[in-house]
Amino acid sequence: MEPDDKQIPPEWLAEFEAASRRPLPLRIRYSFIRTYKPVLDDAPFRSFATMDDYRRWCEENLPSWLGYGRV
C-alpha cells in the first residue's frame, strides 16, 4: 500500500528532500542518535557465567523502560 502524499505533512517532505541531497557519509552520521542508557553504559563490559545470571542482573539493576525484563 503506497502512502498518500497528501497525508504527509509538507514540512516532513521538505526535510526528506533536504536530507536526500546530502552526501551519503553525512546522512549516515546524522542517522545514529546516541542515547545514554542508565547502568548499561556505566561500565565498559560485563560478563556472566550463565544466561540466568545475566537475566537476574538485568531484572535487579536495569530500569524497566529499557525493556530487558522478562515478559
For residue 71, tell me if it sits in a domain. Answer: no
For residue 49, tell me if it sits in a domain. Answer: yes
DSSP tag of 8: S
Rounded to two decimals, what is the model's pTM? 0.51
pLDDT at res. 33: 87
**Whole domain around residue 52: which residue ranges?**
5-66
Give the chain's domain count.
1
pLDDT in tens, 6-59: 789 999 999 999 989 999 999 888 888 888 888 989 999 999 999 999 999 999
Phi-psi region at 67: left, alpha or beta (left = phi > 0; alpha = psi -120 to 50): left
User: Minimal CA–CA distance to 27: which of 35, 15, 37?
Assistant: 15
Judged against a pLDDT cut of 60, whether residue 1 lies above it is answered with no
